[in-house]
């Protein structure tokens, strides 16, 4: 399955397979015939979410909430699913391959708490700026001088 690097507009269920099957669990689509027109962002299916599972060229499993990986993956295992299902798929596959799981989880530069970018309100302009280095709890806190300096370095380093 090859997925383009950018998708615009509503995204139909990315795991619906012709014939009414689900590529995530191999069973019949949980939404029945309506699954063919279900949109991931509507969350009608209990499997829908913001996470993808990829097999990298090095046979590592990547759980991502950032879309298509920066390095060309070897295989896509699931698209647009919830985090729990993504973790289950990765755990099952990692046992088969004897490899490791990588994620796109970040560490907040203010409180050091791990967080997923998808925890940010996607409508917020902060999620598209260097502020995405802050968890959703710290994003609205007043910036202290140390954080401003870190943000300046990160924004410079990231372009």
pLDDT digits 0-9 by tens, 110-151? 888 898 887 766 545 554 555 567 787 777 676 666 565 655
Closest CA to 72 of 91, 54, 90: 54
pTM over 0.75: no
pLDDT tens for 40-90 read: 777 788 888 889 999 999 989 999 988 877 778 888 888 889 999 999 999
Question: What gap in Å lies between CA 14 and CA 108, rounded to an integer?
Answer: 30
């Amino acid at each position: 399955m090859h997925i383009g690097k950018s998708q615009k507009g509503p995204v139909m269920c990315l795991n619906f397979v012709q014939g009414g099957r689900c590529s995530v669990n191999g069973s019949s689509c949980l939404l029945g015939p309506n699954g063919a027109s279900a949109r991931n962002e509507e969350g009608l299916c209990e499997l829908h979410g913001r996470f993808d599972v990829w097999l990298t060229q090095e046979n590592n499993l990547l759980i991502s909430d950032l879309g298509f990986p920066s390095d060309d993956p070897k295989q896509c295992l699931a698209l647009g699913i919830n985090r729990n299902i993504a973790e289950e798929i990765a755990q099952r596959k990692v046992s088969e391959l004897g490899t490791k799981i990588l994620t796109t989880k970040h560490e907040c530069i203010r409180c050091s708490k791990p967080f997923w970018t998808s925890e940010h309100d996607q409508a917020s302009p902060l999620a598209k700026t260097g502020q995405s280095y802050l968890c959703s709890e710290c994003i609205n806190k007043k910036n202290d001088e140390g954080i401003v300096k870190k943000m300046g370095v990160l924004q410079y380093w990231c372009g």
